[in-house]
Structure 1
Amino acid sequence: MNLDNGQILATKVHIANTFYKRLKGLMFSKNLPSDCALYIQPCRGIHTFFMGYNIDVLHLDSFRQVVAIEENLRPGRIGKIHPLTIEIIELPAGKIKKTQTKLGNTIQLG
């Protein structure tokens, strides 16, 4: 949930908090349903190799504030690296725009 505007980003959040889960991420998945997200922790950057669909990406700092945004990141790309990023949330493409999530917003999990 975006605490600043009350918008729900996802109702089903998959957690990637082990080496293997972070390594695999969304690789080889067919899609990311509109109500789902992948929360990667710890994580400073991502890639979209071996994915067949676009995603939106939120970079979060230690306070879970959004410090960088990537919208509609296409397959086969390397995402941004932001110095304050310690966690990342991967969302279906278009979710950031739909929920009006902005830099500085605070995200709540669970």
Structure 2
Amino acid sequence: MTGQAGRDARARLLVGGRDVSDVLLADTYWRRLRGMLGRRTLPPALLLHPGGSVHGMGMTRSLDVAVLVPRDRPDRGRVPVDAPMRVAKLAVLRPFALVTGVRGACATLEAPVGGFAGWGLSVGDEVQVVRAAAGGTAQL
């Protein structure tokens, strides 16, 4: 793989306006293809954008999954990765299982099991990604 395939794009994750976690952005084909697969240590969060459903093929651990829809434009197509989104569905993805999307889904957020509980994430919450600046740290 070449280009951005081998580098992870990093950002900060806001839930209800609170800064809760680092998040890796899977915002290219190659990053979405890799997802959480083959990682010895799981990142605290991974945002698959665009993406409305996820599978656990090849996974050895369960994950918390949130299916996200645009906050301001439901059912209107693709939105920027840093646009405010709303949690439409929460599930636990087990190895070799599938979490289906919802109508209008624009992204999927994954975290190790228990991560969402630690953030207090629930259906209806607003989620937003703040991209890292050129120096590697997110600008809040």
**Once the 2 structures are TM-superposed, how far is the Cα of residue 26 of structure 1 from its aligned partner?**
1.2
Unaligned runs of 5+ in 2: 1-13, 72-84, 131-140
Is structure 2 residue 36 aligned with structure 1 residue 38? Answer: no
Report the structure number with the largest CA radius of gyration: 2
- Residue-by-residue CA offset, 1:12-60 (whole Å, 9 max, x unaligned): x111111111112111223414xx2111110011111111111101111
More strand by share: 2
Q: Give, as a single letter, the amino acid of the residue that structure 1 aligns with 2:66.
A: L
Are residues 1:59 and 2:61 paired? no
Instruction: Using structure 1 for the length normalisation, give the TM-score.
Output: 0.84
Taking a change above 3 Å as real, the CA distance of residues 99 and 7 of structure 1, as seen in their structure-2 partners, is farther
Q: Work out the CA distance in 1 between the residues paired with 2:46 and 2:64.
A: 11
Aligned residues: 104
CA distance in 1, matches of 2:37, 2:57: 7
The 5 Å alignment of 1:95-110 reads 95-110=115-130
Contact 1:30–1:51 under 8 Å retained in 2: no
Alpha-carbon separation, structure 1, partners of 2:33 and 2:125: 27
Cα distance between partner residues in 1 of 2:19 and 2:39 = 26
Aligned 8 A contact 2:70 2:106 in 1: yes
Instruction: Tell me by how many angstroms 1:107 deviates.
Output: 0.7
**Cα displacement (A) at 1:7:** 6.3
Q: RMSD of the alignment, in Å?
A: 1.6
